[in-house]
Amino acid sequence: MGLNVGDVLQFERTFTKEDVEIFTKVSKDEGDHHLNPDEVGRLVVQGLLTATLPTKVGGDYNVLARTMNFEFLRPVFTGDTISCEVTIEKLEKKNNGRTSIFATFLCTNQNEKQVLSGNFAGIILGY
């Protein structure tokens, strides 16, 4: 399964209270808004937990990230379903058998509100 410039990869995830609890333990990001539910029982999902969405491409295509830039546009709450679109902007084969990649991404919630945008660059091993 290869990648081409212009490809748009799409996937989604619904964040749970358990996701936030596990990420809180791992990251030590223990802000009150991650520990104490709001008036409707939701926790705020850590920004960096939300930012794991575009990293799925790294796992799927063996990408070693060199840079990642995030713009957090609005909060994500437990129970939100976030859709992520990653667009492959640049692929460049190198002499060492590696390929450099640059991609942009946009994540939206179930209400079609943008929650996260950004880009990443890195190297694809064995591509």
**The pairing of beta strand 63-72 with beta strand 99-108:** unpaired
Residue 104 lies in a domain: yes
- Where is average pLDDT lowest: 33-37, 95-99, 108-112, 119-123? 33-37
Q: What are the tens digits of pLDDT across the range 23-68?
A: 989 888 677 777 877 889 999 999 999 999 999 988 889 999 999 9
**Does the model's pTM come out above 0.85?**
yes
Residue 85 lies in a domain: yes
Please state, as a whole number, how many other Cβ atoms lie within 10 Å of the Cβ of residue 111.
Answer: 8
CATH of the domain at 104: 3.10.129.10
- Of the candidates 65, 105, 107, 64, the residue with the CA atom closest to the CA atom of residue 88: 105
Residue 99 lies in a domain: yes
